Structure 1
Amino acid sequence: MEYKDYYATLGVPKTASEDEIKNAYRKLVRKYHPDVSRETDADAKTKELNEAYGVLGDAEKRAAYDELGNAPRQAGQGFRPPPGWGADFEKGAGFETGDDSDFFKDLFAHVGGRRRQTFHTRGDDSHATIRISLHDSYHGAARTITLRVPEHDAQGRVVTRARTLNVTIPKGVTPGQQLRLAGQGHPGAGGAASGDLYLEIEFAPDARYRIDGRDVHETVPVAPWEAMLGAQIDLPTPSGRVTVTVPPGSQTGRKLRLKGRGIPAAGSAAAGDLYLMLEVALPPADTAAARALYEQMARELTFDPRANLGIKHD
């Protein structure tokens, strides 16, 4: 019989995901639908698309098609299933797509026997994103998530149901890292193992911190007298409260490094550092006393913040 390349019909690679196959089918069906298409072969093309999607859109049929069609060949080349293939198919096992070609009918012919052939194919892996806080990365956490995941129903069909999973967030995870949950992906065919679920780590936005690999950057406001005279300041960090020495004469933008206080070590990766960016915060002149202090500084301090700009004052 003449071999039909259903992947070529839908214009997708053999590695295409379920969603890619579905999207390609929907796009082509809209294009060739007899009610809207001006193509002369729109009706025949639509039947070809329906037949191709009837196989590739079903995990079990796709597995059977791939098993019989993985020998190298070109579309249109003669094709014969392996001897005896299909001998165990139960009559009426349900591989018809409706209006099928001779290739499809021959490929999935029901030729007697009392039990249905079983195809053992490991399930595909699934991917999702889980959002955590920077605190979770420092200390680890336990999360309960609900995902829409594929499962086999009582009739063996693949359906999508809500599943609740308990996830352990280990210390030291970073954005983009993936956590693998074995056996929580797409179900396998014919009793084969399910695929795995990969959860990609995403940090919730936090205006206090900027993440750079395993290093963490935090802006710390200091009073003018703390910056000019030096001070010991107490402040919270993701790893807990610390006391930091502000050197005398500090200006906005000065960076203090706390070694090993970044995202904790994990695996072969060393702990990152915590960088504190000082920002001089000016007290408001919102009382008579505060305004008097500013006026006194204006009179007594010979300070020109624009001296380095080369601006001369009369």
Structure 2
Amino acid sequence: MSWDPYATLGVSRSATADEIRRAYRALAKELHPDVRPGDKAAEDRFKKATAAFNMLSDPTTKARFDRGEIDADGNERMAFNARPRQGARAHAGAGAGPGAGPGAGAGGDAFDLGDIFSDLFGPGFGSSRGYSRMRGRDIRFTLEVDFLDAINGARKRISLAEGRTLDVAIPAGVESGQVLRLKNQGGAGVQGGPAGDALVELSVKPHAFFRREGQDVHMDLNISLTEAVEGGKVQAPTPTGNVTLTVPAGSNTGKTLRLKGKGVAGQGDQFVRLQVVLPEIPDEDLKKFVKKWPRRDYTPPRPGG
């Protein structure tokens, strides 16, 4: 469950910009690592309070959090193009979140954390210290990828809420659940700190007829009775395009043919399982032939037989 920046600062959701700033000043004066050196718990609370202040002192991120569009870590709750990811759904917001930059008060007046620390501890304190210069928050997306793009690789351009776009390179052979890290594409740093990263979790959509098993690709291919009995050449789709497949004479449903190197990213193979399909409309000539077929009493092997 995401943490609550209001509770972290000890203010209500109706708190004004001045109340938020005063609450943060009080916590900073109490918890700053230079005031309580070696106190890891106090340092962690100070960092959390700073993240909460940056979230709530910026009118844009505060409004988006209040509307439920992002959580306290800046992760999107709105659907980007995919299913939910642990309660949050990715869409955009690369600049949102607690690490999105120095806060701004009502009307857009900037709050400088260095100024706050100088007020509390004296001139020159804070802006040159590592604790006010903080790395921006990572943001997370769930991106749906077409099956063939996951097999062969692709480039996708995604649009973010702030109007920015990101070009995402999808490596060949990726699977659902894999996470791509885009360096420095997350929330902006605080007081000149480095930006966070964008973490893109991939969700591969199923294909209409291809199935993936490890590095191999499987599919069923319908063939006619004539092709099954006499054999012949048929067109078979692969992840990289159609190929000509030779069907051996006397092929039954279930016979599987292998296409070497036609699997995932050219590493695995493609396996084509043949399915003999009769015409949907009854064929009178075929019925007459079967009645005269010398081996019409032939019974194929059956389970339990």
Alignment TM-score, normalising by the size of structure 1: 0.57
Alignment correspondent of 1:168: 169
Note the C-alpha offset of 1:292: 2.9
Aligned length, in residue pairs:
223
Aligned with 2:159 (options 130, 146, 149): 146
1:1-314 equivalences under 5 Å are 20-22=2-4, 67=33, 71-72=38-39, 110-111=119-120, 113-114=122-123, 117-118=126-127, 119-148=132-161, 161-264=162-265, 271-286=267-282, 290-304=283-297, 308-309=301-302
Q: Distance in 2 between matches of 1:242 and 1:279?
A: 18
Change beyond 3 A, Cα 1:196–1:301: farther
Note the C-alpha offset of 1:221: 0.7
Q: Is the 8 A contact 2:252 2:274 kept in 1?
A: yes
Q: Distance in 1 between matches of 2:227 and 2:197?
A: 54
Q: Distance in 1 between matches of 2:121 and 2:37?
A: 25
Change beyond 3 A, Cα 1:258–1:309: closer
Change beyond 3 A, Cα 1:220–1:73: closer
SS in 2 for 1:278: strand
For each residue in 1:138-162, what CA deviation from the matched residue of structure 2 results, as whole angstroms up to 9, or x when unmatched? 44333211234xxxxxxxxxxxx34
Q: Distance in 2 between matches of 1:167 and 1:273?
A: 27
Q: Is the 8 A contact 1:221 1:281 kept in 2?
A: yes
Note the C-alpha offset of 1:248: 2.3
Q: Is the 8 A contact 2:134 2:193 kept in 1?
A: yes
Which runs of at least 4 in structure 1 moved beyond 4 Å after TM superposition? Answer: 46-51, 64-70, 72-75, 304-307, 309-312
Q: Distance in 2 between matches of 1:311 and 1:167?
A: 54
SS in 2 for 1:284: coil
Gaps of 5+ in 1: 1-18, 30-45, 76-80, 82-92, 95-107, 149-160, 266-270
Q: Distance in 1 between matches of 2:250 and 2:236?
A: 20
Note the C-alpha offset of 1:117: 1.9
SS in 1 for 2:140: strand
Q: Is the 8 A contact 1:138 1:239 kept in 2?
A: no
Note the C-alpha offset of 1:204: 2.4
Q: Distance in 2 between matches of 1:142 and 1:174?
A: 15
Q: CA RMSD in A?
A: 4.3
| Percent of residue pairs identical | 32
Q: Partner amino acid for 1:223?
A: S
Note the C-alpha offset of 1:195: 1.4
Change beyond 3 A, Cα 1:131–1:307: closer
Q: Partner amino acid for 1:183?
A: N
For each residue in 1:95-145, what CA deviation from the matched residue of structure 2 results, as whole angstroms up to 9, or x when unmatched? xxxxxxxxxxxxx89436356623122223222122222332344333211
For each residue in 1:172-230, what CA deviation from the matched residue of structure 2 results, as whole angstroms up to 9, or x when unmatched? 33333332211001222221111111222222221211112221111111112212222
